[in-house]
Chains A and B, each alone.
Chain A
C-alpha cells in the first residue's frame, strides 16, 4: 500500500503535464484551433496567430470565385458576444492557393471551403488535393453552417443531415486529405448530420459555428446595424448551446469532435472537452482577449489541470458522460 502511494507520488512529480494533441497524425502543442473566419485572410495573419499560441489554424473559408462579402458593418459587439455577417469574402480558390502556398510552421493548417452545392465543394477539394503538398495543409474543413450567407451554409440547408452527407461524400471522392465537417448549432438534426457525415467519410466533426441569424437594431437610427441586417452570434453567450451539441455528438460518432462556440478561457476549453471534444475551436476570444488569447487560454488550462492533478487531456475528454 505504502509502496503504491510512493509510486503514485513519484508519477505525479515525474510525469509532466502534457496538453499536446495529434490532429490526423500532426502534432499540436495544445488542443486549441483557430476557428475559420478569424484573422484567416493572410498567411502572415495565421502565422502570427500560431506564433501567439494556437495549436492549429484554419483559413477563412474559400469559394471557387472571389467574393467581396457583405457590406460593413460586418462584425459588431453585443452582450457577451459578437454578431457577424462577413459573407464569405475571399479571393477565390486560386487566390487562396497562392496566398497560403508554403505554410512552413509546425502548427497544422486547415483549409476551410465553401460551395453552393456538392459539385462546387468537390471541385474545391480536387484543387486542394492537387496542391496539398505546396500548401502543406493538414485537413479540409467543410463550412456547412454559416447562418448568414444566401446560397451557402445554413441558408442553403447544407447543415441538414442529408446535405451534409451528400457534400462530405462528394468531397471524399476527390481527396485523401482528412475532412472536417463543420456543423451548425442553429438547425435541428446536428447529431444525425454528424453520424451521416462520418458515414460519408468525414475524419472529424467540428461542432460549432455562429448561432443564428440574429439581429441588432440601433435605436438612435432605427435600423439594423449589420450591413446584411442579420448575422451569426458567437462568443461566451452561445457556449452552453455548443457544449450541449458536442455532448450529444460525442455519443453518436467515433471520430474526434472539435468543440467550437464561445471558448474564451481555459476553463471553457476544459468544459468543452468534458462534453466530449478532443479539440477546442477558438474565435471570438481573439477579440475579447486580444491576439494573446491562445496563450492565455493555454495557461489557464495548464493551471487548472495542474491544481487538480490531471496529466493528460484524454483524462478529461467526455468525462461528463460517465
Chain B
C-alpha cells in the first residue's frame, strides 16, 4: 500500500472529479490502481495520468463519495499499478480511441503517450448528454482530432459513438492501424464487432466486479481469465470469444446479472 498527498481536485462533470496526487508512478495506460479509503473500502480506479499520478472518480458509491470529499493536502492510499495495459505496436501511424462515459480517463493517458511517440491519435467520446462529457478539453490538447457524440444531441453529433467510429474506420486518408476502447460494455461489443469486420486490431478495457486485484479471489472471472490480472485490457478477438462478454456480469456475491 502506498500513500500520497492530493495536490489538486477538479470537477470534470456533475458526477466526476479528477484527483491529482503529489507523486508520479511508473505505469502503462490501461493499468489500474486499487484505491483504499481506510475503514470504508477499496475500489479499482483506472489511471488517468502517470505524472502526476491522476485518477478520475465518478461518485457512484460509498468509496467514491469519500474520494469526492478529498481536498488538496488529504492523504490517498492505493495499491498498484495493477493488471495489463494497452499495447501500442511500433510502426502504427494512426490510432483511434473510443471512450464512453467515464471510460475516457484511461484513454487520455494513452493519447498523451501515443502523441508523444508521434502516433497520430484520433478520439471519439460519447455520453448521454452534454454535461456527462468528460476530458473533452484535455483530449483536444493531446489528439489530432476529437469527436463528441451525445445520445440527446446536446453536444456534438447526435447518437452514439458508432456513427463516428464507422466513418473513421473507412477513412482512406488516415485509416487507424488500431482501435482502443473503454466504456460501457455494449459499446465495446459494438466497437469490437466493427473492428473485426474491418480487420482492424482492437483492444478493450473491460470491467468486472473486482475484490482482491491480485488474480486470486476469482470474483472478476471473465471466461476463465481474471480481469484484474490477465486484463483489464483484452484483445477484442479474445473478448469476442468469451460468451459472457457483452451479456452478463457478476455481482459481489458472484451471482450473474444481465448487462
B1 adjacent to chain A (CB < 8 Å): yes
B42 adjacent to chain A (CB < 8 Å): yes
Residues of B within 8 A of A291 (CB): 215, 226, 229-230
Pick from A67-75, A149-157, A260-268, A272-280 the stretch touching chain B. A67-75
Contact indicator B255/A39 (Cβ below 8 Å): no
B93 adjacent to chain A (CB < 8 Å): no
Nearest-CB residue, chain A, relative to B230: A291
What is the CB-to-nearest-CB distance from B220 to chain A, in angstroms, rounded to a whole number? 9
B34 adjacent to chain A (CB < 8 Å): yes
Nearest-CB residue, chain A, relative to B211: A74
What is the CB-to-nearest-CB distance from A152 to chain B, in angstroms, rounded to a whole number? 15
B interface, size bucket:
35 or more
Residues of A within 8 A of B252 (CB): 68-69, 89
CA of A39 to CA of B224, assembled, Å: 9
- From known contacts A69-B252, A72-B42, infer whether A41 and B218 are also in contact, taking CB-CB under 8 Å: yes
Total A-B contacts with CB atoms under 8 angstroms apart? 126
- From known contacts A41-B219, A72-B211, A223-B39, infer whether A60 and B3 are also in contact, taking CB-CB under 8 Å: no
CA of A287 to CA of B219, assembled, Å: 14
A220 adjacent to chain B (CB < 8 Å): yes
Contact indicator B253/A69 (Cβ below 8 Å): yes
Pick from A21-29, A44-52, A176-184, A198-206 the stretch touching chain B. A44-52
Nearest-CB residue, chain B, relative to A284: B216
What is the CB-to-nearest-CB distance from A27 to chain B, in angstroms, rounded to a whole number? 22
- From known contacts A66-B255, A284-B216, infer whether A71 and B41 are also in contact, taking CB-CB under 8 Å: yes
Residues of B within 8 A of A48 (CB): 224-225
What is the CB-to-nearest-CB distance from A14 to chain B, in angstroms, rounded to a whole number? 38
Nearest-CB residue, chain A, relative to B43: A72
The one of A39, A45, A73, A95 in contact with B36, judged by C-beta atoms closer than 8 angstroms, is: A73
B38 adjacent to chain A (CB < 8 Å): yes
Residues of B within 8 A of A185 (CB): none
Residues of B within 8 A of A39 (CB): 215-218, 221, 226
Nearest-CB residue, chain A, relative to B77: A221
Residues of A within 8 A of B43 (CB): 72
Contact indicator B218/A42 (Cβ below 8 Å): yes
CA of A106 to CA of B250, assembled, Å: 26
Contact indicator B254/A89 (Cβ below 8 Å): yes
The one of B1, B216, B217 in contact with A220, judged by C-beta atoms closer than 8 angstroms, is: B1
The one of B34, B218, B253 in contact with A95, judged by C-beta atoms closer than 8 angstroms, is: B253
B40, B211, B226: residue with the most chain A Cβ atoms closer than 10 Å: B211
Contact indicator B41/A227 (Cβ below 8 Å): yes
What is the CB-to-nearest-CB distance from B207 to chain A, in angstroms, rounded to a whole number? 15
Residues of A within 8 A of B224 (CB): 42, 44-45, 47-48, 51
What is the CB-to-nearest-CB distance from A3 to chain B, in angstroms, rounded to a whole number? 54
Instruction: Provide 15 A-B residue pairs closer than 8 Å at the C-beta atoms, listed in order of the A residue.
Output: A41-B221, A45-B224, A69-B253, A71-B41, A72-B212, A73-B42, A75-B212, A75-B214, A91-B256, A95-B256, A99-B254, A221-B77, A223-B38, A223-B39, A225-B1
